[in-house]
């Protein structure tokens, strides 16, 4: 079956990402998640101060620090595993990669980075949620297009 799929599923693919542009994307996404985690850990004294209902449930059940840590781990584990698998399995042709990976960065910018940046800065910045969210997404995109470079063509291809 392994030969039929042309891919292999080993435990290391789930746990250890391949050191490529997907790995850089994982680091960038989790930098925003870690920022939100640290800000919440530093400023949240009581579970009811947390706006996320699910995080609040974990914090009420296990205490603020342990509950928040467990929630962040459980909530973001599927993101990590998916991106780790992608780092081993996803290989697009250069032109398709430029489009798909740029769209991926826009999705990550809005739904992960913007959300976590807004959540993290909500503890110490009284700007509106939309402003914080847009700024987080914008920061992610700037960093992604400078350091991850999903738009860089592969050398040796015709037309590149």
Domain contains 27: yes
Domain count, the chain: 1
Domain contains 7: no
Domain contains 11: no
Angle at 44 between CA 26 and CA 60, to 5 degrees: 95
> Does pLDDT of 158 surpass 70?
no
The pLDDT, as a whole number, for residue 132 is 96
Domain contains 88: yes
Domain contains 125: yes
Domain contains 67: yes
Domain contains 44: yes
Domain contains 4: no
Range of the structural domain that residue 60 is part of = 17-148
pLDDT digits (tens, 9 = 90+) for 73-122: 999 998 888 778 777 766 777 777 778 878 888 998 999 999 999 999 99
């Amino acid at each position: 079956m392994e030969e039929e799929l042309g891919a292999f599923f080993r435990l290391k693919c789930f746990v250890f990402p391949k050191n490529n542009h997907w790995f850089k994307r994982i680091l960038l996404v989790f930098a925003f998640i870690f920022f939100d985690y640290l800000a919440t850990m530093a400023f949240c004294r009581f579970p009811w101060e947390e706006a996320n209902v699910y995080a609040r449930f974990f914090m009420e059940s296990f205490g603020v620090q342990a509950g928040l840590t467990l929630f962040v781990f459980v909530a973001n584990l599927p993101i990590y595993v998916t991106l780790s698998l992608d780092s081993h399995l996803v290989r697009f042709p250069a032109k398709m990669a430029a489009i798909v990976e740029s769209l991926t960065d826009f999705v990550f910018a809005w739904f992960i980075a913007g959300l976590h940046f807004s959540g993290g800065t909500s503890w110490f910045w009284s700007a509106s949620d939309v402003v914080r969210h847009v700024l987080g997404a914008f920061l992610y995109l700037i960093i992604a297009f400078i350091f991850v470079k999903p738009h860089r063509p592969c050398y040796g291809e015709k037309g590149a």
